[in-house]
Structures are given as C-alpha cells and as structure tokens.
C-alpha cells in the first residue's frame, strides 16, 4: 500500500513539472532561509570552541544603579566586581576582562583597525582558544602589567605578513606590546571571546579603572555545574540587597544579574523588566512569532498549489472512494504525497542553504564568521520540514477527502 502510494506520488510529481517546480521552489527556498537563520543562531549560541563550557558559564556585563529620579546603567567596573561578584559560591573560576575597544595599529606602512580586549589570566583557562603559536597571557604578565599581547591569525597575517609573530611588537596608541601567542580567529557573534588583540587587564596608561564602580569590564563565571546557577544567583542578589549603594543621595538600589548568553541577547534586543531582568520570554516569543509569520506566506502558497493539484485529480479521488477508500485513507495518501514533496524540496533546500550560509559568511557582515550547516542545524532543518509538510498539507488533504465522489464521477465538479 505504502509502495503503491509512493510510486504514485513520484509519478504525479513528474506529470506536472510546472506545479512540481513551483512547490519545490517554495519549499526549498523557505527551508534554505530557515536553515541559514538557524545556522547563524547556532553560531551565536551553540556550544562551540573556544566556549567549550558554555552550558555552565554565566556572564555579568551590566550594572544598574537606580534612584527615584536618576538611573545609571552600563558595564560594571573593577570596584563593583571585586566587592560583590568575587568569590560567589559554586564558582570554579572567575575571569574579569574588558569590552572590546577599537584601536588602530600603524604597521607595515598600513593602518589596521583592531578590536582590543584586556583580560586577566583566568580568561585563558576558562576559554579553550586554539593556539597556533606561543601561549596565553600568564598570571605574572597580568599582575605586573607587562606589555605583552595575544593576537589572532588574521591580525598576524596583516601585521606580520612575512611569517611568525612571536616576540615581535605591535604598536597601538603609543604602547608597544610583545606578541606571546597567536590564536585562531573567533567570530564576532561570540561576543565574550571575540577580539583581534588581547593584552593584560593591567596594561593601561593610568590605573583609574581600578577605582571605577561603573567601567568597561565584564565578568565570566564558570560554575561547577548548571545546578550551581541557582545558589550563585541567590547569593549575588542577597549581596546586592545588603550592599551600601554608592551616591545614596541619587541612587537607592543596585541591580546586576549573572546571565546566560541568550538572556544577554534578550536584554539587548528586547529589553528588561522594572528590575532589570532580561525579557527572555519575549525574545523567545518574538523568534517563534517571526518564524510563524515567515512561514505564513509559503504555507498559504503551497496550500493553494496543493489544492489545485488535488482538484485536478478529482476523478482519481472519486474512483478510490467508489472502491472503498474512506476519508482517512485518502487523507493519509495525500499527506504522504505532501511529505514526499516536502522531503525532496527539503533536501534541495538543505543543499541550497549550504550555499546561502557560505554567501552570508562571504559578505563579511559577521567578522570571522565560521558559519556551518552542522548536524544540529540539519536536525532543526528536518523539524522545520515536517512542520511545513503538515502546515501546508492538512487543509488540501482534508478538502480533498471531503469531495463528494458521486459528484466527481458524474463530472459535476467541473
């Protein structure tokens, strides 16, 4: 029975090439867009190197001071992090590092724009960078503010086109940094590890940053396990509730949260509630809403094409009903046909998305993007396919199953 239907499905598709082309075009294009979008999301949020411990890492990148009439928010500074975030329970390792800052290096007679990040030594223990040459910034470098740097591959090739970079100098903003390591490029979407040039946290012109409450620093907390998140967050909240808020004449409370990357993205894209908590649900709703909205037009289009295709086969439906097919049998048959069509279109779509993903990577919109249609993305693609097949197949199949066989066989439906 199944083989019979499958045979028929393929024959029907081959008989009306135009309809088949329209359907396949819609399905493969829709899936290519979805798979490409998923690849970008996976690239931003998946557990990829160097963030190999991402599932048990939290970040603190935002501090709000709030009073009745004033509010100050932004990245926390050294004072805040040392006073309230250091030594939280369940934390295996804590790193403090700066936001990336744009600097220019004038070398080889050319100007190179670089993203500079200042880090401590723990940063290199939490993140598993892929070292091509040398090694990370050492504890002693950070303690002493040594003028040393780790650069990425692209920067090495730009600044030192003639070969190794180790022990050579990068000159930025009047400071000369000796290269101690070269790492593989990390994508811009991985905001915490991303940079072109990493130098010790302490290698600054002044030590003003060590007195700042608000500043340009982030904290990365590697918890022992995900189960440690709860107590860790509770302790942080308790510390902030008991803290002496700076400038008490202006501010009366202090808000900061240790967040996962998706929560940080929620705050940046959607916003936060009155207590500064990220609108994670809203971002999820937004993504699902966007997905459904995007699927609406291709689905309606495919429903219409499918309905037309089915009406054309009215005599066949009549015959099958006359010879004993129930509505359920027919519903199954046409859903199966639609699934075959969707699978063929989906396979084409996956193929297409490989090119689309490469095209997105080639635009350079995302620096060092290493986008891939990997197994996880592929699995999502298959889920989308089945969803799409159901969305676009149910109504036409239902409509067809309800056609009156007596009408059809008399030719009255014409």
Partner 1 sequence: MIRLEHVQKTYRTDRIETVALTDIDLDVEKGAFLSIMGPSGCGKSTLLNLMGLLDRPSEGTVRLDGEAVASWEDKRLARLRNQRIGFIFQSFHLIPDLQVVDNVEIPLLYRSSSAGERRRTALAAIERVGLGSRAHHFPSQLSGGQQQRVAVARAIVGRPDLLLADEPTGNLDSHMGDEIMDLLEELNQEHGTAVVMVTHDERLAGRTQRTVRLFDGRQVA
Partner 2 sequence: MTRHLLKLLWNRRSANALVGLEVLVAFLVLFAVLAAAAHYWDYYRRPLGFDPTDVWAVEIEAGTDMAEPSALNPAVARFLPELRSMEPVVDAAATIWAPYRQAGWTTTWSVGERSSDVRLFNGSDTLDRVLGMELLRGRWFGPEDDGSGRTPMVVNEAFVDALVDDGDGLGQVIVDEDRNPLPGGGEELVRRERVIVGVVEEFRPKGELQKPEPSAILRPRLEGELSNDDYLSALLLKMRPGTPATIEQTVNDRLLSMAPEFSFRLQPLEAARTEYLQRLTPLLVPALIAAFLLLMVALGLTGVLWQAVTQRIRELGLRRAKGATLARIRRQILAETLLLTLAATTLGGLLVLQLPFTGWFPQLRPAVLIPALVLATAVTALLTSLAALYPSWLATRVEPAEALRWE
List of residues contacting partner 2 (CB under 8 A): 18-19, 21-22, 25-26, 29, 33, 69, 77, 98, 101-104, 106, 109, 111, 173-174, 204-206, 208-209, 212, 214-216, 247, 249-250, 294, 296-298, 300-305, 307-309, 311-312, 363, 365, 395, 411, 414
Min dist CB 20 to partner 1, Å, is 13
Using the CB atoms, write b or e for 89-120: b if 16+ within 10 Å: ebbbebbbbbbbeebebebeeeebebbbbbbb
Min dist CB 7 to partner 1, Å, is 7
Min dist CB 298 to partner 2, Å, is 7
Q: What is the dihedral of CA 148, 154, 157, 158, to 10 degrees?
A: -90
336 makes contact with partner 1 (CB under 8 A): no
Closest Cα to residue 259, out of 223, 214, 209? 223
What mask of x and - would describe binding to partner 1 in positions 283 to 322, judged by CB under 8 A?
--------------------------------xx-xxxxx
Q: What is the dihedral of CA 287, 262, 217, 118, to 10 degrees?
A: -100
Closest Cα to residue 119, out of 137, 93, 94? 137
Of the pair 207, 284, the CB lying nearest partner 2 is at: 207
- What DSSP letter does each residue of 78-98 carry, written as one string? HHHIIIIITT-TTEEEEEEEE
Residue 242 interacting partner from partner 1, partner 2, none (CB closer than 5 to 8 Å by kind) = none
Min dist CB 407 to partner 1, Å, is 9
Distances (CA, A) of 365 to 111, 296, 368, 369, 414: 20, 28, 9, 8, 54
Q: Is the peptide bond before 293 cis (omega within 30 degrees of 0)?
A: no
Structure tokens at 310: 């089915």
327 makes contact with partner 1 (CB under 8 A): yes
Structure tokens at 156: 């090495």
Of the pair 24, 150, the CB lying nearest partner 2 is at: 24
Of the pair 3, 363, the CB lying nearest partner 1 is at: 3
Cβ neighbours for 253, distance < 8 A, ≥ 6 positions apart: 65, 66, 67, 240, 245
- Binding part of the chain for partner 1, among 34-42, 78-86, 273-281, 400-408 by CB under 8 A, reads 400-408
Residue 247 interacting partner from partner 1, partner 2, none (CB closer than 5 to 8 Å by kind) = partner 2
Residue 241 interacting partner from partner 1, partner 2, none (CB closer than 5 to 8 Å by kind) = none
Of the pair 215, 393, the CB lying nearest partner 2 is at: 215
Residue 372 interacting partner from partner 1, partner 2, none (CB closer than 5 to 8 Å by kind) = none
Min dist CB 414 to partner 1, Å, is 12
Residue 320 interacting partner from partner 2, partner 1, none (CB closer than 5 to 8 Å by kind) = partner 1
Min dist CB 329 to partner 1, Å, is 6
- Is the distance from CB of 150 to CB of 182 less than 8 angstroms? yes
Min dist CB 142 to partner 2, Å, is 17
Min dist CB 29 to partner 1, Å, is 27
Chain mean position to CA 344: 27
Structure tokens at 343: 């699978």
By CB atoms closer than 10 A (0-12, 13-18, 19+), residue 46 is middle
Of the pair 99, 337, the CB lying nearest partner 1 is at: 337
Residues making contact with partner 1 (CB under 8 A): 1, 3-4, 7-8, 11-12, 15, 315-316, 318-329, 404-406, 409-410
């Amino acid at each position: 029975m199944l083989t019979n239907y499958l045979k028929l499905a393929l024959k029907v598709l081959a008989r009306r090439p135009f309809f088949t082309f329209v359907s396949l075009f819609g399905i493969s294009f829709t899936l290519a867009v979805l798979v490409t979008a998923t690849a970008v999301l996976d690239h931003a949020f998946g557990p990829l190197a160097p963030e190999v411990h991402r599932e048990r890492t939290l970040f603190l990148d935002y501090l709000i001071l709030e009073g009745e009439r004033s509010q100050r928010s932004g990245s926390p500074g050294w004072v805040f992090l040392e006073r309230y975030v250091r030594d939280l329970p369940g934390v295996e390792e804590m790193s403090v590092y700066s936001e990336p800052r744009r600097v220019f290096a004038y070398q080889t007679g050319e100007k190179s724009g670089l993203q500079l990040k200042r880090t401590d030594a723990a940063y290199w223990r939490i993140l598993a960078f892929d070292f091509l040459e040398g090694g990370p910034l050492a504890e002693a470098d950070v303690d002493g503010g040594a003028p040393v740097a780790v650069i990425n591959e692209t920067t090495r090739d730009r600044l030192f086109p003639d070969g190794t970079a180790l022990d050579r100098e990068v000159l930025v903003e009047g400071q000369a940094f000796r290269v101690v390591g070269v790492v593989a490029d990390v994508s811009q979407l991985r905001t915490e590890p991303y940079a072109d040039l990493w130098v010790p946290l302490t290698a600054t012109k002044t030590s003003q940053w060590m007195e700042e409450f608000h500043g340009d620093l982030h904290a990365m907390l590697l918890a022992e396990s995900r189960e440690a998140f709860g107590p860790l967050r509770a302790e942080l909240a308790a510390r902030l509730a008991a803290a002496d808020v700076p400038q008490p004449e202006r501010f009366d409370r202090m808000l900061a949260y240790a967040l996962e990357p998706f929560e940080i993205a929620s705050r940046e894209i959607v916003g936060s509630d009155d207590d500064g908590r990220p609108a994670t649900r809203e971002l999820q709703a937004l993504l699902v809403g966007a997905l459904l909205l995007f699927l609406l037009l291709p689905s309606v289009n495919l429903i219409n094409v499918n309905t037309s295709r089915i009406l054309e086969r009215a005599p066949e439906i009549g015959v099958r009903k006359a010879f004993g097919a129930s509505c359920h049998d027919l519903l199954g048959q046409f859903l199966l046909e639609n699934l075959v069509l969707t699978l063929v279109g989906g396979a084409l779509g996956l193929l297409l998305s490989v090119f689309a993903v490469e095209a997105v990577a080639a635009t350079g919109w995302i620096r060092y993007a290493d986008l891939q249609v990997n197994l996880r993305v592929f699995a999502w693609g298959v889920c989308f396919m089945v969803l799409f097949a159901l969305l676009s197949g149910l109504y036409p199949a239902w409509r067809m199953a309800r056609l009156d066989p007596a009408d059809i066989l008399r030719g009255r439906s014409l």
